[in-house]
Amino acid sequence: DSWQPLVESNGKGFFYFQEFVTPHIGQKAEFRYLPKSERETRTIRKPNYSKKRDMEAREVIRQMALLNDTSKMEIEAFDDKLYITTTIIGMFVNKILGAGQAGFVDTQLGQEGYLLSFERVLHFSQGLTAAEYDSTIIAWKEKVRYSLVRPTTVIKDLGEERISTWAPGGVQDFAAKDFEAYIRVMPHAEYTSG
């Protein structure tokens, strides 16, 4: 099944259907490092999902029933892409600047114990950011190509079937059509994700 828009709410009585947010990015955005020819040649493998995505939907229901405060905090942290990127760069810079005696040694400078130069730190940060940007363009192109339905949609399509999973207040039994993910389900296809 293809991606389908979910109904969202602003929490104040306004409901609307999602619109697929990424089709143009995978086709129109300019790469930072990769040549333009890579847009067509770089692809991802076809996902090994069940035909109707029902197995994945059941796994989401099972995993949601296991949510606790720690896993909810982890979900919230990993949902913040800017936080993750800056944390990775920050950890690397901290290591470079020699927190304690554990800094990376710049062997190209020819002096033992000399930590990486400011220019090398900038080169790493710029390279990481550009690689992440280019890979995002490819990922969004592939989202459009596969256009796979999200598990939340499959679960809601179960209609009146009773499920037992997490809901605000803890694990509850309710009709599948009333299922809501812990965080917002973004308005684009499932695969590729992350």
DSSP string, 137-150: HHHHHHHHHH-BPP
- The per-residue pLDDT for 127 is 87
Q: Structure tokens of 5?
A: 């828009």
Average confidence (pLDDT) over 55-69: 94
Choose the weakest-confidence range: 38-47, 68-77, 102-111. Answer: 102-111
Q: Distances from the Cα of 69 to the Cαs of 48, 66, 73, 76, 152, in angstroms?
A: 31, 10, 6, 11, 21
- Check residues 7 and 25 and name the one with the higher pLDDT: 7
